Structure 1
Amino acid sequence: MSDPSTASIVSTPPAQSTDAGAPATAGLPQSNEKPRGLLGDAWRDLRRKPLFWISATLIVIFLLMAAFPALFAPGDAVNGTLSRSLDKPSADGWFGYDVQGRDVYARVIYGARASIVVAVLSVLGTLLVGGAMGIIAGYRGGWVDGLLSRIADVFFGLPFVLGAIVILTTFNGSNSSNSKAQIMGLVIASLMVLSWPVVMRLMRSSVLATKEADYIVAARALGAGTGRIILKHLLPNCLAPLLVYGTIMVGSFIGAEATLSFLGVGLKSPVVSWGIMISDGQQFIRVAPGLVFFPAAFLVTAVLSFVMLGEAVREALDPKLR
C-alpha cells in the first residue's frame, strides 16, 4: 500500500513542459502589429477623417488642373471672338464668355496654374529660408539668436499687403517691360520676404524644445558633429509644425496672389489668373455676374481645401487634439 502523501503527488497532473529558450510570456496572446511612429499614428488618424479625404480630393483635382489644364478645358483661354462678347452660359461655353469673347470656363481652369504655382513655390521658398534661419537661431543661441530674432521683428512690423504693394510697385511698375517669368518671380519673392519670420519663429521654438532632449545630448557626447545632429536628429523631429503651417500657407498664398493681382500690382495679362479674372470682371458684375462668381468660387474652394487639409494634419500630429 502506497503512502498517502506520495499518492497525492502522483495524482497531481504534471505541469506542461516548456522550452528553456521560450519567453516567459509564451502563453500570452501576441500581436503581429508593428509599433508605429508619429507619422504612422497621424496617417492612421487621418484615414478616419472625412474632412481629410474631401480636402485631399479637391487638392488633387486642383493640382491636375494646374498640371494638365487641357484635360479639363480643351478650349482656348487666351484668344476669343468678339461676336461672343458677354454671351450667357450655354452648351458651347459652360460659364459663358467675357467681354473679349473668351471662354470663361477655359480661363478658370487655366487660371489654376498661375495661382497654384505661385503659392507652392512661395511656400517652398519660405519654408527653406525661414526653417534654415530658425534652426541656426535655436541651435546656436546667444548673439546669433538675438540678431536673427531682431531682424525677424523688423519684418514682422511690415503690414503684409502694404509691404507687398510697395515691393511690387518698386520693382514692377505699370510701365515695366518684365516678362511673365520675371513678374511671377517678383510676386514669389515678395511673398517670401514678408512671410519667412513666422516660419523662423516656429522652427526656432521647436529646436529650443528639442535640442536638450536625451538623444541629442547622447549624440553630442558620442562626438556627433553639428551637421549630423541637425540633419539626423533635430530636423526630423521639428518638421511637424512646419508641415502643418506650410499646408495652410499654400491656401493663404493663393488668396494673397489673387489679392495682389486684383489690385493690379501682381500678375498681369496675358497671364491667366483667378485674381486677374475677378479684377477684369468686376466692371461687368451687373451684366454678367458669372465673370466674377466662377473664378471667385474656384478661388475660395482652393483656399478652403488647403486650410481644411492643414487643420486635419494639425489635429492628427498633435496628440492633445486626438
Structure 2
Amino acid sequence: MSETQQVFGAESQDLEGGTLSNRELLRALLRKPQFDICLLLVLTFFLMAAVPKVFTRTDPRFCELGKSQQGHQPGHPFGFDIQGCDYFANVIYGARPSVLVSLVAGVGGFLVAGLLGLLAGYFPGKVDTVISRVADVLFALPGLIALIVILNSVPNRSIWIIVAIIMVTGWPQGMRVMRSTVFSVRNREYVLAARSIGVSPVRILRKHVFPNAMAPLLAMTTLGIGGLIGLEAVLTFLGVGLQPPSISWGSQFGVATSYRETPHLFLWPALFISTMTISFMIIGDSIRDALDPKLLR
C-alpha cells in the first residue's frame, strides 16, 4: 500500500511540475497588454454578435432608395448601402454569422482533433492506422476547392451546415499536432507510473495525457479561429456560403466588388474582419507563450 502511494505521489508531483494551473495561466496572460486589448476587442465582437441592439437600434433591412450609396450622415456613421439601408446596422448584424461560424467550428474542431489525436497517439496500433489513413485522405483534398465543391452541392446552406463541413474537412491538421504531442507524453514517468498500478486508459488520457498534450493544439486552434473568420467571408463572397437574406461580412464584400466607386462598402466590413482576425491571432500567440515555458521571455 505504501509503495502504491509513493507512485501516486511521484506521479502527482511530475504532473504539477509540468503544467500551469488555470489561475497561474490567467495571471500570465493578463500581464500581457496586447492580450488584454485583444481580449477586450474579441469580447466586444461577441457582444455585437449576441446582442446587436446594444450597438444600434436601426433595423438593417429598413431601406430608403433615395439614400443609396450615400456617405456618412448624422446618426448614420457608415453611410448607406446600394439599397439605402443603414450600413452601420448591416455591419453590426453581419458580425453574428462570422463569429458563430468561426467560434463553433474552431471549438468543435478542437474537440474532434483532440479526441482523435489522443486515441491515435496513445493506441499506436490499429486505432492509429485507421485514424491516420482517414486523415491522409482528407489531407489529399485540395482545401478551399473541396469546400467550394461540397458546399455548392448543398441546396440550403445554413450556418450549421457550413460549420459541420468545415469541421469534417478541417480536423486532420489538428489531429496530427495532438498525435505527435501525445507520442512524447505517453512515455513520461507519471503516465508509466499510472499504468503500472492499473489505472484505466480513460483516466490516464483524461487526467494526465490530455492536460499535458493540449497546449500546442489549443494555441493552434486559437490562431485558426482568426483564419475561420476570413474563410467564412471568402465562402460567402464566392457564393457558396450563407445565402440571402442572411447578413454577413462576406455578402457585403460581394456587393462591394460591383460598386468600386463607393469605397465605404468595402472598407467597414474589411476593417471589422481584419481587427477580429488579428485579435484572435495575438491571443493565440499569448496562450502559446504562456503554456510553453520554452517560449517565455
- Superposed CA RMSD: 1.6
What is the aligned counterpart of 2:148 among 155, 162, 165? 165
Q: Using the alignment, how far apart are the partners of 2:47 and 2:27 within structure 1?
A: 26
For residue 41 of structure 1, report the CA deviation from its aligned partner.
4.5
Q: Which amino acid aligns with 2:36?
A: W
What residue number does 1:126 align with?
109
For residue 314 of structure 1, report the CA deviation from its aligned partner.
1.0
Unaligned runs of 5+ in 1: 1-34, 173-177
Q: Deviations over 1:47-98 (max 9, x none)?
A: 3222111111111111111111100111111231212211211113110011
What residue number does 2:287 align with?
313
What residue number does 2:203 align with?
228
What is the aligned counterpart of 1:264 among 217, 239, 243? 239
Contact 2:102/2:225 (CA < 8 Å) preserved in 1? yes
The structure with the greater share of residues assigned to helix is 2
Unaligned runs of 5+ in 2: 1-16
Q: Aligned to 1:171, what secondary structure does the other structure show?
A: coil
Q: Deviations over 1:26-54 (max 9, x none)?
A: xxxxxxxxx99514554343232221111
Q: Using the alignment, how far apart are the partners of 2:19 and 2:196 within structure 1?
A: 25
Q: Which amino acid aligns with 1:225?
A: S
Write the mapping of 1:9-158 to structure 2, written as runs, cut at 5 A.
37-39=19-21, 40-158=23-141
For residue 161 of structure 1, report the CA deviation from its aligned partner.
1.0
For residue 242 of structure 1, report the CA deviation from its aligned partner.
2.0
What residue number does 1:280 align with?
255
Contact 1:78/1:270 (CA < 8 Å) preserved in 2? no
Q: Deviations over 1:264-307 (max 9, x none)?
A: 10012211100101111211121x11011111110111111101
TM-score, length-scaled by structure 2: 0.90
Q: Using the alignment, how far apart are the partners of 1:160 and 1:78 within structure 2?
A: 35
Q: 1:137 to 1:37 in 2, by over 3 A?
A: closer
Aligned-pair identity (%): 42
How many equivalent residue pairs?
Answer: 279
What residue number does 1:292 align with?
266
Q: 1:140 to 1:117 in 2, by over 3 A?
A: same
What residue number does 1:29 align with?
none
